[in-house]
């Protein structure tokens, strides 16, 4: 396991080499709430973990996004094919994928989320919210250049989404308290990597402060 001293040494080394520069917010942001669905937020489920704090963090951001007239996109992972053919090879890697059946309780948004009927729910098949979906077109058509990301998992769907976002010319903002994982070690390492190379990892309080400034007079 990486020690605190080693982690601090890594941080200093990366900073000396110019990693971790600040991207900042652009002109218009969207919030992507990644896979806060029952199959992931219920720790008793095969793919689940305790994500109470991440649901709460998302719920603090959502009203401010609505008030500013900024897009909010919720996502889920769901499979229609009885043999999981639409999960591809990825479905072979995790037995728990079989629980993510379209129309089931596991693929529904966690009822604690501040979701309103009519708001978009993006259905995806793979880790990245961009892969095989129309997410990029939706964002471009609404003039979005920044994506605020919450949800799960930090090392999986969040990380894949953030990498694709920056590769598509968007500015990713990862809300530290808003993302979670089944593994604490994977979570912390992923946040380190995301901050170093792909995104701005920001405290919830700082993102909330930015959004409050965006509110109409």
Residues with catalytic function: 157
Q: Cβ of 178: how many Cβ atoms within 10 Å?
A: 32
């Amino acid at each position: 396991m990486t020690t605190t001293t080693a982690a601090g040494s890594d941080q200093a080394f990366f900073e000396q080499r110019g990693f971790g520069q600040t991207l900042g917010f652009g002109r218009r942001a969207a919030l992507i709430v990644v896979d806060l669905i029952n199959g992931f937020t219920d720790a008793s489920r095969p793919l689940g973990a305790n994500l109470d704090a991440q649901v709460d963090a998302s719920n603090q951001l959502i009203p401010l996004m609505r008030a500013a007239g900024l897009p909010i996109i919720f996502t889920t992972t769901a499979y229609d094919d009885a043999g999981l053919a639409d999960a591809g090879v990825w479905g072979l890697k995790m037995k728990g994928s079989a629980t993510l059946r379209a129309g089931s309780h596991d693929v529904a948004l966690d009822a604690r989320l501040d979701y309103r009927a009519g708001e978009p729910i993006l259905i995806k098949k793979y880790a990245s919210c961009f892969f095989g979906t129309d997410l990029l077109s939706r964002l471009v058509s609404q003039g979005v250049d920044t994506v605020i990301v919450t949800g799960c998992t930090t090392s999986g769907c969040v990380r894949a989404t953030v990498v694709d976002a920056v590769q598509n010319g968007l500015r990713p903002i990862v809300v530290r308290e808003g993302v979670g994982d089944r593994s604490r070690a994977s979570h912390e390492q992923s946040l380190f990597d995301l901050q170093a190379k792909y995104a701005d990892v920001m405290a919830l309080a700082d993102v909330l402060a930015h959004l409050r400034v965006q509110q109409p007079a």
